Amino acid sequence: MRTAIILFNLGGPDRLDAVKPFLFNLFNDPAIIGLPQPLRWMVAQLISSRRAPTARSIYEHMGGRSPIVANTEEQARALDALLGLDFKCFIAMRYWHPRARGLVAAVKQWAPDRVLLLPLYPQFSTTTTASSVREWQREAARVGLTVPTTTLCCYPDNAGFVTAVANGVRRGLAQFDPTLKPRVLFSAHGLPKKVIDAGDPYQEQVERSVAAVLAELAMPALDWVICYQSRVGPLEWIGPSTEAEVRRGGADVVPLLVVPIAFVSDHSETLVELDIEYRTLAEERGVPAYVRVPTVGADADFIAGLADEVRRAIAAPEPIRSSAGHRICSTGRSGCPCGQMGS
């Protein structure tokens, strides 16, 4: 049985001229801005035009392009090596190339017996995984790719992911002066509060990931907090914000260990926002020391955890499944895709 694995990720501009169209694709997604067309198109044009100059400066810090495709390709190669010849990983970016539209023909040509959709978002959100899955389904239907397809919707407490993050925390803590007691900031991408209030399970699943990492660390005296970064626009966002927690670290005069808990590969939010902007803020606010834990990337434990998820998913009958094999979201999370699977 030949299995095509589709690795979903956000994507990023591959050159400075691609920054504005990348932003347009992002804001023209109905999962991000829920206006009907042509209003959404008009708003996406306006926002992308206004944000492009600032975004260009961000990508200039990264050599003029996002590293997310190269990082995802490395993860794909590592997963291919573990799974063997009956499996092949393909990567599909949501807002820039390679996108699903250009990928489905290559997948169909490979002639898989089945397809597994595997988001590189451990925590499910309607704004990330669901959006990528919908785009894939549209494009697969367009080319007549009709083989059985399974979606792994989430794996917030996958053992390999948790071990990789916990090991990163341990290595990060070892960098501080042993006389100091650092505070750990588990930082995730933020969402408008209205998205969570509408039933999106993302925040709940971020909390599940952090709980699993803390259990793995077994450090009951650890000072930690979950926070959210990358707020844009006037809406109320879930919090506390990472920026506010950096400021609080300065007020409390405590070292900070920043842990990306919802990103599995580096991009602008880690390489610029965490490594440059918040580090600068920490220095300005008197934070004694600031250390950022690397994303899990192609860490052996993380890749092994993904391989385990692949094997379990293809052996299961459900078309949509969490890493637990059943619904893990609380009853009030109407955005959970596993509702039909029971509790």
Q: What is the distance between the alpha carbons of residues 154 and 67, in angstroms, rounded to a whole number?
A: 23
The token pair at 168 is: 């990163």
Sequence-distant (6+) residues with CB within 8 A of 106 are 90
The token pair at 134 is: 């919908």
| Helix, strand and coil in the chain, % to nearest 5 | 45, 15, 40
189 is in an annotated binding site: yes
The token pair at 254 is: 């405590």
How many helices (H) and strands (E) the chain has is answered by 12, 9
3-class secondary structure, 259: strand
Q: What is the distance between the alpha carbons of residues 139 and 240, in angstroms, rounded to a whole number?
A: 38
269 is in an annotated binding site: yes
Give which of 311, 271, 264 is closest to 74, Cα–Cα: 264
Q: What is the distance between the alpha carbons of residues 243 and 274, in angstroms, rounded to a whole number?
A: 9
Cβ atoms of residues 236 and 192 within 8 Å:
yes
Q: What is the distance between the alpha carbons of residues 82 and 301, in angstroms, rounded to a whole number?
A: 12
Sequence-distant (6+) residues with CB within 8 A of 165 are 209, 213, 259, 261, 293, 296
Q: What is the distance between the alpha carbons of residues 198 and 286, in angstroms, rounded to a whole number?
A: 39
The token pair at 124 is: 């499910």
Q: Known binding site for Fe(2+): residues? A: 189, 269
Known binding-site positions: 189, 269
